[in-house]
Amino acid sequence: MDKQIDLSRTLANLPLFQQLRESEIANLAASAREIRLSKGQILFQKGILLDGFYITVYGQIKLAFSSPQGNEKVVSIVGSGQSFGEAVMFMERPSPVLAQALEDSRLLYVAKQSLFAAIDRDSAFARRMLAGLSMRLHSLIEDVENYSLRSSTQRLIEFLLQLTGASESGSIELKLPASKHVIASRLNLTPETLSRVLHNLSECNLITVKGRYILVQDVARLRCFDGLSRASEAESD
Amino acid sequence: MDKQIDLSRTLANLPLFQQLRESEIANLAASAREIRLSKGQILFQKGILLDGFYITVYGQIKLAFSSPQGNEKVVSIVGSGQSFGEAVMFMERPSPVLAQALEDSRLLYVAKQSLFAAIDRDSAFARRMLAGLSMRLHSLIEDVENYSLRSSTQRLIEFLLQLTGASESGSIELKLPASKHVIASRLNLTPETLSRVLHNLSECNLITVKGRYILVQDVARLRCFDGLSRASEAESD
DNA sequence: CGGTTTGTTGAGCCCTATCAAGGTAGGTGG
DNA sequence: CCACCTACCTTGATAGGGCTCAACAAACCG
């Protein structure tokens, strides 16, 4: 009972559902299932069919391809309040990615039918789902753009800038959202290359790396850096 | 008048709208605009806001990034019956890509408001839009997978196999849907590399290239080929 | 403190881009 | 019918960015 109320409140706070009526929320909550994962646990494998979608309440889920040869490529790191699996659910096709918890996490599972019911009753909700998927598509396109026509350094800079949020300039400290191994994969780099690029940016006095914490000296300067100057003039000290 | 009827019929035949009632179709047709493009003409630039979306009746539209340095990367080649721009419309954000006609084309433009009206009145239609966007997302993810963990040869093979359709084995002749320059960009290759890869596959007796026509000798064998054998043992014939 | 995971550094190589010349085909005008 | 032009493609030589392999360092953890 308390659990039900708790679920409703959790759902109501999620971006996707914020404008729903209480009765709608109650409907969704009634069919939503709570899922707890411990770090490293796999939620679903590549190839599975989904009969609903997931919402991350807290924790972190990684979505990745896994090729037969064992190498893995992280597509997305899903954090609190974000949902995933809708596309696979709507398509009724095998999932192209696996989902694995990067840390202990709590999820909600919403069944397809109750989502469809919500769509049927509230077309504004349908529009919001459409907008949500569109955003997802947009960021994937940006990923493709990054992979195709930017260098390793540019990709990392882009990534760091996104972590800094909207700040235009000045210095800012940020924490990498996952291990460097995972970040590297997300950026389509080997861990070795990521390490070298970080090192290189350090030598150019653009950032200071301390474990998972990175101090960006000057956001504006980092944004302008194109990776051309190879810290060559750093010998004069 | 005749034009209106023609529009309705065209709309009704499109995958997206096939299950709509006639009255709905009429509503959409009333607000749809017809657009004719000649080869090379640009429909919209990167950065534009869309107040509707487009459907290709016939012809071919290319969606591509354009970087300031002038190099261009083709994201998608849109053919007859396919739509594009929905995501940009829903997001109300600048388009990340430009759209340009690869050949003389005829399009329909459907305004946002009439689409929203259709969604409001028919939730099954909303679901179909959601499924459509999901498919788009899915194929983008496949692209990312291709770019990230496959070699140039593997990407080309994948591309050719998609063109062959569902055929499991045997030989089949197919026509490249665009110039090799465009195909190369679509596969994230330079034209030079594409040419070399095609040549290499020819030498392995997997395909025969004749201009834009490609004869796949054996679909099954092409599917298995991993690019490892470098036509080195082709001397013993 | 050992053991394990995580990250760094170095050497060498391979794939693919780049630069630079040729070909080839289709269209046009003499 | 030929010469020419332009767009498209091919071929060759070269170089560089990022990967691979291997060893080491550092941090985390029981």
Q: What is the pLDDT of residues A59-68, one digit of tens each?
A: 999 999 987 7
CA A148 – C1' D16 distance (Å)?
17
Q: Which residues of chain B are at the A interface, by a Cβ-Cβ cutoff of 8 Å?
A: 65, 67, 71, 73, 75, 86-91, 93, 96-97, 116, 119-120, 123, 126-127, 129-131, 133-138, 140-145, 147-149, 188
Q: Which range is least confidently modeled, A31-35, A228-232, B222-226?
A: A228-232
Measured CA to C1', what is the nucleotide nearest B198?
D10
pLDDT band at A229 (very low <50, low <70, confident <90, very high): low
Domains of chain A: 7-148 (2.60.120.10), 150-236 (1.10.10.10)
Which pLDDT value is given to residue B180? 96
Look at residue B107 and give its three-state secondary structure: strand
Is A150 within 7 A of strand C by CB distance? no
End-to-end CA distance of chain A: 67
Is B185 within 7 A of strand C by CB distance? no
pLDDT band at A2 (very low <50, low <70, confident <90, very high): low
CA B146 – C1' D22 distance (Å)?
29
Q: What DSSP designation does B69 have?
A: T
Which pLDDT value is given to residue B229? 57
What lies within 8 Å, CB to CB, of B74 at 6+ separation is B62, B63, B64, B182, B185, B186
Between B69 and A112, name the one with better pLDDT.
Answer: A112
Over 70: is that where the pLDDT of A233 sits? no
Look at residue A121 and give its three-state secondary structure: helix
Measured CA to C1', what is the nucleotide nearest A193?
D18
Which pLDDT value is given to residue B236? 39
Number of neighbours of residue B208 by Cβ within 10 angstroms: 14
How distant is the alpha carbon of residue B58 from its chain centre?
Answer: 13
Is A127 within 7 A of strand C by CB distance? no
pLDDT band at A91 (very low <50, low <70, confident <90, very high): very high
Which pLDDT value is given to residue A56? 92
Burial string for A119-129 (b: 16+ CB within 10 Å, else e) reads beebbebbbbb
CA A180 – C1' C6 distance (Å)?
8
Which pLDDT value is given to residue B231? 46
> Which of A24, A83, A144, A158 is the best mutation test for B, with the most CBs of B within 10 A?
A144
Which pLDDT value is given to residue A30? 83
Q: What DSSP designation does A38 have?
A: -
Chain A, chain B: beta-carbon pairs less than 8 Å apart: 118
Rg over alpha carbons for chain B, rounded to the nearest Å, is: 20
* Sheet order of strands, A33-37 included: A33-37, A105-111, A52-58, A83-84
Q: What is the pTM of this model?
A: 0.89
Q: What is the pLDDT of residues B125-181, one digit of tens each?
A: 899 889 999 999 999 999 999 999 999 999 999 999 999 987 778 899 999 999 999
Over 60: is that where the pLDDT of A90 sits? yes
Distances from the Cα of A212 to the Cα of A176, A179, A187, A198, A221, angstroms: 5, 7, 16, 11, 21
Q: Which of B205, B208, B194, B211 is nearest to B229 (CA)?
A: B205
Which pLDDT value is given to residue B235? 40
Report how far residue A85's alpha carbon sits from residue A81's, in angstroms, rounded to the nearest whole number: 14
Burial string for B140-159 (b: 16+ CB within 10 Å, else e) reads bbebbbbbbbbebbebbbbb
Counting as low any pLDDT under 70, the low residues of chain B are 1-5, 228-237
Interface contact B96-A148, CB threshold 8 A: no
Distances from the Cα of A31 to the Cα of A70, A124, A125, B152, B165, angstroms: 36, 21, 17, 46, 40
Q: What is the pLDDT of residues A139-190, one digit of tens each?
A: 999 999 999 999 999 999 999 999 998 777 889 999 999 999 999 999 999 9
Measured CA to C1', what is the nucleotide nearest A188?
D18
Report how far residue B99's alpha carbon sits from residue A102's, in angstroms, rounded to the nearest whole number: 39
Would you say how long chain B is, in residues? 237
Summary mean pLDDT of chain A = 89
Angle between the B191-203 and B152-164 helix axes, to the nearest 10 degrees?
A: 70
Interface contact B73-A148, CB threshold 8 A: yes
Number of neighbours of residue A28 by Cβ within 10 angstroms: 23
Which pLDDT value is given to residue A61? 96
Could you tell me the sign of the dihedral formed by the alpha carbons of A162, A164, A168, A169, in that order? negative
Between B73 and A23, name the one with better pLDDT.
Answer: B73
Interface contact B96-A123, CB threshold 8 A: no
Q: Give the CA dihedral A137, A139, A143, A145, nearest 10 degrees.
A: 80
Which pLDDT value is given to residue B148? 93
Q: Is residue B100 within 8 Å of B41, Cβ to Cβ?
A: yes
Interface contact B141-A97, CB threshold 8 A: yes
